[in-house]
Amino acid sequence: MTFLPIAVRELQVSARRPMTYYWRSLCAANAACVILACLLAGFSGALSASSAGELTFRLLSLAGYAVAAGAAALMTADCISQERREDTLGLLFLTDLRGYDIIVGKLARLSVPIYCLAAAFPALGLTLMLGGVSLGDFAGVALALLNTLFFYGALGLLISARSWNGATAASSAMLAVLLGSAPMVAALAGLVLPGPALAFLFLTPAGAFLAAVEPVSSAVSRPDFFWSLAASHALGWLFIAAASRRVARSISSGEDRRARAARPRVGESNPAAALDSRNMPRQSWRLVFLLAGLAGMIVLVSALISAAHWFDLPTFLGIIIGSHLILKYCAANSACRSLPSRRQSGELEILLTTPLDGDAIISGSITAIKRQLLRPFLFVLGMDGLLLILGWCKVGLWDGFFWAGAVLLEILWFMGNLYSLTWLGLLMGLKYSNHAKALGMTLFSILFLPWSFLALATAFVGVLTMGRSLSPETAFITGAELLVALAVCNLGFAGWAVSELRDHFRLLAAHQLPPPRPVAWPWKSIFKKLRPRAG
């Protein structure tokens, strides 16, 4: 028998997938753009060579940590629970496979993020030539990033092995990433960590990462690099062992008790919305409490960092952006699971046999999502308004106009994002059978892709000016580029999702979408016409 057969299969599948190459290229291009932007800033005299190297190293390392932790958690969080929901886990155990075969096989899914990190490492290595970074720093960060990937992948597998619901598993994994990274963020913000927080940091990969990325001379409180790396790595193996044990024990498909107990709302005009709006009041209140808790936590951390200056604009901005991000995540999560959960339970098939058309079913799902997020949304809007007024009072009348404009722009962007995330989430949920993959693609397309475009566009402007000057005009152009990238991604993806859902809803619901036609690039039609005809 082949050693670890599922791992071999997963590796072969991911190696042959075109998206693997696209992801890798995108990561390398983004890393190269960040390097280029910092190099050009160095040429313009805004930064010295060593500080440019150090800044680039830190930026790329932090981006790498975010990508590694997020990708590992999202890619593994729903892999076992999906098998369990589809009743295929038991079939695997009819063969010679053991629990660890399945778990290590699923862990091999992380080959794509490893390729992406490997593609970005050469760009990170360029900072060695710029100065301010030693070979030891580079090797330490590379090791810490790979360890982060392994640790959160193992944790995601353990969560997946204990879950049945894909959305719950993905949310738990993301929450674990946030909790695991919170002490590191607090330490980077200048907070002196107390003993228990330092011990917690020691056990997570964030501890080794912090020790690698921060120079020894800095006053940041951090654990020892090698001991933290060893402890978190060992903990990762413990997670793997626990997941292997758990997956072998629980092969039966435990149907969600809450879903079974829930009953649709009576008196609803749209049956699709009625079916979707089960359990909602409790969930929406829970989210309101979570948002209030987040605001309280940010205020507490700000007060701990600086007792004199906590009541200031950075704290307000942190609360606004944090609550918006959480609500955006919830909108995408609800949209991604809305239609697939009904397809799985057979409700969608029954709905499609009724006179209801696709538009009615989609609008029912959107109504249910709106209802679910209405209370948290109103809470966030109220909090934004309060913080806007407080900030205005803090900075004075005339400076307050800039603050109010920025907050209003953020609120507009937030509303646009909610709309796009909902539509794209519905489409991705139907396209991909894996909830975490659908959620990851939705969040990536709407929230992260504009920043990727911005990196490319900034590098483009930098090459045009050859780093001659970092003038206010260049800053204005960069800001305009960001707005354009946000608008293009939001409008483009929302329009695409609306178009696809309205045109091919039945095919998407039945997983029978025809393969996409090859893209007709304009230059192809030109060259086709210009090519001389034979004979």
In the complex, least distance from residue 197 CB atom to other proteins, rounded to whole angstroms? 44
Handedness of CA 101, 437, 271, 351 (dihedral sign): negative
Residue among 176, 146, 137 at smallest CA distance from 158: 176
- Of 98 and 431, the one with the shorter C-beta distance to other proteins is 431
Element (H, E) at 120: helix 111-130
SS3 191: coil
In the complex, least distance from residue 470 CB atom to other proteins, rounded to whole angstroms? 12
CA 121 to chain centre: 21
Residues 6+ apart with CB under 8 A from 102: 6, 80, 89, 92, 244, 247
Angstrom distance (rounded) from CA 306 to CA 221? 16
Angstrom distance (rounded) from CA 5 to CA 10? 9
In the complex, least distance from residue 515 CB atom to other proteins, rounded to whole angstroms? 14
Q: DSSP code of 163?
A: -
* Burial (CB count <10 Å: 0-12, 13-18, 19+), residue 114: buried
Residues 6+ apart with CB under 8 A from 238: none
In the complex, least distance from residue 70 CB atom to other proteins, rounded to whole angstroms? 25
- Of 111 and 417, the one with the shorter C-beta distance to other proteins is 417
In the complex, least distance from residue 509 CB atom to other proteins, rounded to whole angstroms? 16
In the complex, least distance from residue 527 CB atom to other proteins, rounded to whole angstroms? 10
Angstrom distance (rounded) from CA 131 to CA 114? 26
Which two structure tokens, joined as six digits, stand for 311? 């009541």
Radius of gyration of the chain (CA): 25
Query: Which chain residues interact with other proteins by CB under 8 A?
Result: 461, 464-465, 471, 473-474, 477, 483-484, 487-489, 491-493, 495-496, 498-499, 502-503, 517, 520, 522-523, 525-526, 528-529
Q: Both ends of the chain: CA-CA distance in Å?
A: 58
- Of 139 and 464, the one with the shorter C-beta distance to other proteins is 464
- Of 88 and 471, the one with the shorter C-beta distance to other proteins is 471
CB 154 within 8 A of CB 148: no
- Torsion, Cα 113 117 119 120, to 10 degrees, reads 140
- Of 8 and 466, the one with the shorter C-beta distance to other proteins is 466
- Of 17 and 502, the one with the shorter C-beta distance to other proteins is 502
In the complex, least distance from residue 119 CB atom to other proteins, rounded to whole angstroms? 27
In the complex, least distance from residue 443 CB atom to other proteins, rounded to whole angstroms? 18
- Of 260 and 529, the one with the shorter C-beta distance to other proteins is 529
- Of 382 and 495, the one with the shorter C-beta distance to other proteins is 495
- Of 279 and 525, the one with the shorter C-beta distance to other proteins is 525
Within 10 Å of residue 118's Cβ, how many Cβ atoms?
A: 14
Angstrom distance (rounded) from CA 471 to CA 493? 33
Cα distances (Å, whole numbers) of residue 532 to 394, 523, 524, 525, 526: 71, 16, 14, 13, 12
- Of 202 and 493, the one with the shorter C-beta distance to other proteins is 493
In the complex, least distance from residue 353 CB atom to other proteins, rounded to whole angstroms? 19
In the complex, least distance from residue 483 CB atom to other proteins, rounded to whole angstroms? 8
- Of 218 and 471, the one with the shorter C-beta distance to other proteins is 471
Handedness of CA 464, 467, 471, 476 (dihedral sign): positive
- Torsion, Cα 80 83 87 93, to 10 degrees, reads -70
Beta strand residue intervals within 69-212, DSSP E: none
In the complex, least distance from residue 36 CB atom to other proteins, rounded to whole angstroms? 16
Angstrom distance (rounded) from CA 447 to CA 437? 15
Which two structure tokens, joined as six digits, stand for 407? 């907050």
In the complex, least distance from residue 480 CB atom to other proteins, rounded to whole angstroms? 8
- Of 56 and 445, the one with the shorter C-beta distance to other proteins is 445
Angstrom distance (rounded) from CA 219 to CA 317? 26
